[in-house]
Amino acid sequence: MKISEIIKLSNEKLKNIEYVDPTREAIEIISHVLLADENEILLSNDLEINDNDLEEIKDLIELRSSGEPLQYVLNRAYFYNRKFYIDNRALIPRYDTEHLLYRTLEISKDFKNPDILEVGAGSGAISITLNLELENARIEACDISNDALEVCNINQELHNSDVNFFYSDLFGNVVKKYDIIISNPPYIKKSDLSLIPKETLKEPLNALDGGEDGLDFYKEITKESIDYLKDGGYLIYEIGFDEAYDVYEIMNKYEFKNINIDKDFQNLDRVIYGKKG
């Protein structure tokens, strides 16, 4: 079978999946299996694929056509220009979440040797990126999911990073105080879970479900963070596009100062942060 024929097949198979560019995805799948550059594939329409590779490519297209996100099919996701391992044990790193990273990098400049804790590490992409970007920081990250922590450890090895990952139900096993606490907690309202794309439902529900009003984790983390932040320390969150007002109120209630909001590239509220007064 030629590459052009595989692309045709992929278009046929993936036409019923939401939010997909089947040609683009076929090229990503083919280049993954052939260990080839995507540009090379684009220039090789007539290349014949051998039977072994063809079988693998067809299996991956089949898996994708069942609604499995491409990142899980290919076991990779990109975050801040780095490649991370991913599978369905952890939430797929989102491009939008880079805003949480930008703000954390910026606030870190206020500290000589910032001690940073991430609550809810997921794949580990945020904490590992912070570790690689910030020479003078010490990064720790916890998660309630041992499955997710296994993915963190795979990524830690891939990037040769030095994050202290540990198991904890929110602050349950946290024993010290930090300069900066960050989190991209589950924040989707329970009633909205039925509206999100089917593909997103292939991701761990406990990384998405924020309770009745989507705010369960902001309430709990903000309240508890007071005991685990040094004076003058910062709390930084990713938030859902319509949650800024509510999370502002929660942070205000616990007397955080200088509360500010960052917008994402779609001009939606995406990050909120404040200083322990």
Q: Tell the smallest beta-carbon distance from residue 208 to ligand GLN (Å).
A: 5
Burial group, residue 50, by CB count within 10 angstroms (0-12, 13-18, 19+): exposed
Q: Are 181 and 117 in contact (CB under 8 A)?
A: yes
Q: Tell the smallest beta-carbon distance from residue 27 to ligand GLN (Å).
A: 25
Q: Are 209 and 190 in contact (CB under 8 A)?
A: yes
Cβ distance to ligand GLN smaller for residue 65 or 184: 184
Q: Tell the smallest beta-carbon distance from residue 110 to ligand GLN (Å).
A: 26
Cβ distance to ligand GLN smaller for residue 110 or 242: 242
CA distance 157 to 141: 15
Cβ distance to ligand GLN smaller for residue 98 or 179: 98
Cβ distance to ligand GLN smaller for residue 33 or 73: 73
Q: Tell the smallest beta-carbon distance from residue 187 to ligand GLN (Å).
A: 4
Cβ distance to ligand GLN smaller for residue 65 or 97: 97
User: What is residue 188's DSSP assignment?
Assistant: B
Return the SS3 of 176.
Answer: coil
Q: Is 186 in the site for ligand GLN (CB under 6 A)?
A: yes
8, 94, 190, 202: residue in contact with ligand GLN (rule CB under 6 A): 94
CA distance 193 to 265: 24
Q: Is 206 in the site for ligand GLN (CB under 6 A)?
A: no
Burial group, residue 81, by CB count within 10 angstroms (0-12, 13-18, 19+): exposed
User: What is residue 158's DSSP assignment?
Assistant: H
Cβ distance to ligand GLN smaller for residue 74 or 188: 188
Cβ distance to ligand GLN smaller for residue 124 or 186: 186
Q: Is 208 in the site for ligand GLN (CB under 6 A)?
A: yes
CA distance 8 to 26: 9
90, 125, 188, 235: residue in contact with ligand GLN (rule CB under 6 A): 188
Query: Under 8 Å CB-to-CB from 265, ≥6 apart: which residues?
Result: none
Q: Is 200 in the site for ligand GLN (CB under 6 A)?
A: yes
Measured from the Cβ of residue 92, the count of other Cβ atoms closer than 10 Å reads 23
The mark string for 209-228 relative to ligand GLN (x by CB under 6 A, - otherwise) is --------------------
Q: Is 88 in the site for ligand GLN (CB under 6 A)?
A: no
Site size toward ligand GLN (CB under 6 A) is 8
Site for ligand GLN in 145-184 (CB under 6 A): 184
Q: Is 187 in the site for ligand GLN (CB under 6 A)?
A: yes
**Of 200, 201, 186, the residue nearest 240 (C-alpha):** 186
Cβ distance to ligand GLN smaller for residue 56 or 246: 246
> Quick one: the chain helix, strand, coil %, rounded to 5?
45, 20, 35
List residues binding ligand GLN (CB under 6 A).
94, 184-188, 200, 208
